């Protein structure tokens, strides 16, 4: 759009004409995101670093130093192990995170110290069994416990 606005033509009318001509030529037809809803970020408060955060998310990068990211991953792995449906999966989850922890322990950390040591697989499996037994017992008691009568007119 290198042509200048002619004198005497209102700016809005001239811009509208430029847009209309471009639409007629099909210049807006193949734009990325055409026909898609606007992103929900428009409702969020303004953030000066929006473009950095979007770039990091698009590239799959983390804002945390590697040691802190691994610490979070280790905690998530332990929670996943406790929620695992079988002992084999518990062992697999803990063994995989232990490999990463050992690798980080023997390399100079690029950020703050890791502050984690590898998990004892047998100890985690033992705790998993105890939690599983306790949860099963609680479910059995809850299923057998009589329900208190509901007052008339109340929703159950």
pLDDT tens for the chain, 156 residues long, are 567 777 887 767 888 888 888 889 988 888 888 778 877 767 778 888 888 888 888 888 767 788 888 899 999 999 999 999 999 999 999 999 999 999 888 876 667 777 888 999 999 999 999 999 988 888 877 766 555 555 555 454
Within 13 Å, how many C-alpha atoms sit on residue 33's CB side? 3
Which position has the token pair 């970020």? 41
Where does residue 115 fall: left (phi above 0), alpha (psi -120 to 50 degrees), or beta otherwise?
left
């Amino acid at each position: 759009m290198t042509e200048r606005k002619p004198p005497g033509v209102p700016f809005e009318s001239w811009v509208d004409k430029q847009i209309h001509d471009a639409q007629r030529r099909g210049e807006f037809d193949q734009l990325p995101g055409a026909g898609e809803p606007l992103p929900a970020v428009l409702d969020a408060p303004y953030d000066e670093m929006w473009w950095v955060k979007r770039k990091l998310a698009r590239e799959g990068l983390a804002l945390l130093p590697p040691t802190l990211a691994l610490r979070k991953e280790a905690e998530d792995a332990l929670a996943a192990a406790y929620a695992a449906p079988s002992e084999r999966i518990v062992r697999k989850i803990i063994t995989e995170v232990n490999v990463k922890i050992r690798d980080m322990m023997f390399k100079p950390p690029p950020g703050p110290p890791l502050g984690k040591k590898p998990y004892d697989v047998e100890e985690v499996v033992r705790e998993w069994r105890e939690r599983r037994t306790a949860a099963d017992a609680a479910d059995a008691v809850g299923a057998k416990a009589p329900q208190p009568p509901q007052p008339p007119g109340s929703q159950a």
